[in-house]
Structure formats: structure tokens, C-alpha cells
A and B are shown apart, each in its own frame.
Chain A
Amino acid sequence: MMKRLLAGIFRVFLLISCKLITGVQARWLSPPTNRVRIYYANHSSHLDGIVLWSCFPANLRNTIHPVAAKDYWGKSRLKRFIAEDVFNSILITRKPRSQDNPLNVLENILSQYQSLILFPEGTRGSGEQIADFKCGLFYLAKQFPQIEMVPVYLSNLNRVLPKGSKLLVPIICYATFGEPIQPLNEGETKNSFLTRAKQALEELAP
């Protein structure tokens, strides 16, 4: 009870700070919906997840979960609290031991009709180019062919909090939500699907 109240206060505070620092402006090429979706975006800053999540209407936010790396966001109690309690994040291991598949957690969420925010590059880049996608997106597409995958291009976040910096600089950011990509074709290879998904994201770059 106490924890939920604290999380609520934290959430309002962080959402206002996020608005003040990034003034994020969302452009919706496909309007927001409460359908189950996987939103995937380019990754250049620790703020990406928060900023993208803050673009959704308040009533949708409870059902949309950013996926974050356990080795970073699970490191301290405060980070874990911010990730899991404040922003409904799902923490997954980036280097799983052979038996536990990190995708099980995500599949679990999707089968409860909840949406995900994924950063398929797996790690933050410099913001200039999008790195090749990790294969998780492909396995989710295979497992849940009916779920729409929506590319979201984030601009300027690498200027607000670049990789390797601890200093924030206020700069207006943009999140462009594209149309859902074509579902996985029968017999489509992993590489061709991931390249196609990445291209759809790159096309949204201003």
C-alpha cells in the first residue's frame, strides 16, 4: 500500500520532469489503441523507455510495459523500484543461462493481453545509426503472429542524455509512431524479418 502510493508520487514527479526536460512531442501515424501491440524503438539513452511510455494516454499506460535489462535496472533497490513499480517495466536478463529463456516472461505478459515496449538493438547506441536487431523480436513474431508490431522512432534523446554521460540537457524530443509492420510471412527467415523490421523503423527518421 505504502509502496504503491510512493510509486504513484514518483511517477507523477518523473513524468513532469520528463516533460520539462524533453517536452516530448508524439506524432501518431497510426493512432493509439488499446489493442495488444509490441512497440519497438531505437535505443540511445536511458530515458528512451520513460519518454516513449509517457507518450501514451494515461488510461493505456497501465497495460503497456517497457522491457528493460535486469543487469542495469535491477542493480540497486532504487533502480529496481523505478523500473518495476513506477513504470511497470519487465526486467529480463540479457545473457541468459541456457535453461531459462528470457522470452518466457514476455510471452507471459502478451498472453495476458498487455503490450510491450522493446528496444531490439539490445543496447544503447550513439544515436546516429540503428544497430542490427537481436533475434527476440523474431521469436515473439513467430509465437504471436496476430500481435501488431509498431515501429517508434525516437529523435534527440541521444542529445538529452547520451551514452556515457550523467548530465541531462533539456532538448525537445520527438517520438514518431509508425504503422504496424506486415506480420511474419509463412517461411520468412529470421534475417529477412529483422531487416524488414529495422527498415520500417529507419523510414520513420525525420
Chain B
Amino acid sequence: MIFTDHDLQLLLACIFGLLIFASIVGQIIAKVCRNDRNQKTIDNLNQRINAWWVMSVLLLIAILIGTIGTLILFVFISFFALRECITLTPTQLADHQALFWCFFIFLPIQYLLIGFNWYGLFAIFIPVFVFLFIATRIAINGNSIDFLGRVAKIQWSMMIAVYCISYIPALLLLNCGNDHSQNIKLIMFLVIVVQLSDVLQYVFGKLFGRHAIVPKLSPNKTVEGFIGGILSATLIGSLLWWITPFTFWQAGLISALLTLLGFCGGLCMSAIKRDRGVKDFGAIIDGHGGMMDRIDSLCFAAPVFFHIVRYFWY
């Protein structure tokens, strides 16, 4: 279907054109502006660009394979994100069985439900059944020390790493036509707007950032980066209206909401990292840190985007 859908072809050409452009600019900056003071920032910038290549190609391959490929990709993303969340939270021996269930039973089931097109159970499986199960399984082991805290940590990890992230491939569930190309374009729209907003906030922050927005949580999130990033990503989102069922103004409004949600996601994950005394969730993606560091903004944006589109359009 990708080969026949002209909108998708154009979109892919834009994405990879942008990546080529970014790589060239990255190389030029590395050649021209190299000095000891900003060496680290430049190296990090080029690492990030290379990682974007890898991530874009992986997403493209997964989408080309079809629903199964997309689901497998997101199973792995959730798996790595959940592993990082659980590593950061000090779980105890009595939580061991509950954790095993989360990784090897509930995580696959959540994605199987998308594969089986079972929206009704998909939407409630983790927040109802899994949440009750986790608390019960931990209680059975009889260790009551910090019970509420331990249960909440595992539930929240499941919430952000599995439930929220599964809403991205869940866009394939929406009934928007005979082939899946509209669903794929919705996934691309979500990912592009939210991730570009991250990148643009980073770029504007590096260029003009003066005032930290929540200085106690993150020195890298600045008012200047926030405003510049959100405005420019919203503009790009509205210019992408042609790949969506939205009009230009609707696309702009939804993009603005998505970028704000993305910012909230990043802020909450920063709070977790600050509390645990770490800079990144992990080191799985060169230049970006862990999986959770890359998808934190998608966590909050994906479920809201899904339900808006499902309620008003399909």
C-alpha cells in the first residue's frame, strides 16, 4: 500500500530528505565550528542525528512488514522502556512474581489485543485487570512494607511503558477504510509532530535558551525552547493536514495539543529521573539516553490523540 499511496511516498521523501539535510548540516558544523568548548554538544548532535536515521529506518521497515511488524516493533519498545522503569524503581524480592507477569504475560497480551482488533478489552485491560492483579500478587507474598508505594511504582511503569505506548500501534485499530494507509498516516502524523516538537524545543533551547521553565526539574527545558518548539511544531503539524482526515485548522489545533502533552510527558519523566538521581533512563540509544528518554513525550500524547480521532472522526 505504501507503494501505491502518493501521500505516503511524498511524506517519506520529506522525512528522509530532512534526515539527509540534518546529516549534512551536522557534518558541516562538526568541520567548521570545532573547538574544545562545544565539542561535546556537536558530538551529541551528530549522535542524535545518526540515531534518528536508525529509528526512522526501523519504523519504516516495521510499517512495510505490516500490522505484525508494527506490533513487534512496539512490543520491543515497551519491553525496553519497562525494563528501564523497573531498573530505576527499587523493587523488592516480594515483587518478583508480579514483575514476571508484567513483562512476559501482560505486555504481550496488550499487543495481541490490538492484533485481534479487540478494542473493548484493549482499552481497559491494564488499568483494570492488570492493576488489580499486581496489587493482589504482591499482597499474597505478605510483605507489607511500603506496600502502596511498591504497587504504585509497578502500576505506573506499566501505565507509561506499556499502556500509553501501545496506543501508537492501536491507531491501526481505527476503522478508516479498506486498506491501512490512513491508519499508517495517522501514526506518522502523531510521531512526527511529537518528536519534531522535542527536537525543535531542543534546538530553540540550545540557540536562545535563557530561562529554565521548571529549574528544579530540568535545566535543559527553557521558556524560549518551549515557546519556539511548540509554535514551530504546531505550524509543521498544520502543514501536514493533507496526510490526515483533518482540515488545516483542525490539524493545527490537534498539533498544539499534542506538543503540549508531549511537553507534560517529558516534564513528568524528568521528575522521575531527578527523584532517582539519574540523568537518563538508560543508554540504549546513542546520544539520546534510554528508550524512555526518547518516547517520554509520546506516552502522554498517544492515548489522547487516539481517543480524539476515534471520538470525532472514526
CA of A23 to CA of B282 in the docked complex: distance in angstroms? 10
Is A168 a contact partner of B284 (Cβ separation < 8 A)?
Answer: no
CA of A172 to CA of B91 in the docked complex: distance in angstroms? 13
Contacts known (A156-B87, A159-B91); A169 close to B282, Cβ less than 8 A: no
Is B284 a contact partner of A169 (Cβ separation < 8 A)?
Answer: no
CA of A171 to CA of B92 in the docked complex: distance in angstroms? 12
| Chain A residues within 8 Å of B128, by CB | none
Is A169 a contact partner of B79 (Cβ separation < 8 A)?
Answer: no
B97 located at the interface, meaning its Cβ lies under 8 Å from any Cβ of chain A in the complex: yes
CB closest chain-A residue, reference B290 = A172
| Chain B residues within 8 Å of A169, by CB | 86, 96, 99-100, 103
Cβ 8 A contact of A170, one of B83, B93, B97, B283:
B83
A165 located at the interface, meaning its Cβ lies under 8 Å from any Cβ of chain B in the complex: yes
Cβ 8 A contact of B84, one of A126, A156, A167, A172:
A172
Q: B223 CB to closest chain A CB, in angstroms?
A: 34
Is B86 a contact partner of A171 (Cβ separation < 8 A)?
Answer: yes
Interface centre among A126, A162, A170 (most CB of B within 10 A): A170
CB closest chain-B residue, reference A170 = B83
CA of A23 to CA of B99 in the docked complex: distance in angstroms? 17
CA of A124 to CA of B97 in the docked complex: distance in angstroms? 20
A192 located at the interface, meaning its Cβ lies under 8 Å from any Cβ of chain B in the complex: no
Cβ 8 A contact of A167, one of B83, B91, B97:
B97
Q: Mark A158-180, 1 if CB is under 8 A from B, else 0.
A: 01001001011111100000000
Is B83 a contact partner of A162 (Cβ separation < 8 A)?
Answer: no
In the complex, chain A residues 32-73 whose Cβ is within 8 Å of any chain B Cβ: none
Is B96 a contact partner of A167 (Cβ separation < 8 A)?
Answer: yes
CB closest chain-B residue, reference A21 = B83
CB closest chain-A residue, reference B79 = A170
CA of A50 to CA of B86 in the docked complex: distance in angstroms? 22
CA of A159 to CA of B80 in the docked complex: distance in angstroms? 16
CA of A169 to CA of B83 in the docked complex: distance in angstroms? 9
Q: Mark B71-93, 1 if CB is under 8 A from A, else 0.
A: 00000000110111011000101
CA of A23 to CA of B103 in the docked complex: distance in angstroms? 15
| Chain A residues within 8 Å of B83, by CB | 23, 170-172
Cβ 8 A contact of A162, one of B80, B86, B87, B93:
B93
| Chain A residues within 8 Å of B96, by CB | 159, 162, 165, 167, 169
- Please name 10 further chain A to chain B contacts, defined as beta carbons within 8 Å, in addition to the given A23-B80, A171-B83, sorted by A numbering: A23-B83, A23-B282, A159-B96, A165-B96, A167-B100, A168-B100, A169-B96, A170-B86, A171-B86, A172-B87
CB-defined A-B contacts under 8 Å, sample of 25:
A23-B80, A23-B83, A23-B282, A23-B284, A25-B283, A126-B93, A156-B87, A159-B91, A162-B93, A167-B97, A167-B100, A168-B100, A169-B86, A169-B99, A169-B103, A170-B82, A170-B83, A170-B86, A170-B103, A171-B83, A171-B86, A171-B87, A172-B83, A172-B87, A172-B282
Q: Which residues of A contact B (CB under 8 A)?
A: 23, 25, 126, 156, 159, 162, 165, 167-172
10 closest cross-chain pairs (CB), A and B: A167-B100, A172-B87, A169-B99, A170-B83, A171-B87, A169-B100, A170-B103, A162-B93, A171-B86, A165-B96
Q: Which residues of B contact A (CB under 8 A)?
A: 79-80, 82-84, 86-87, 91, 93, 96-97, 99-100, 103, 282-284
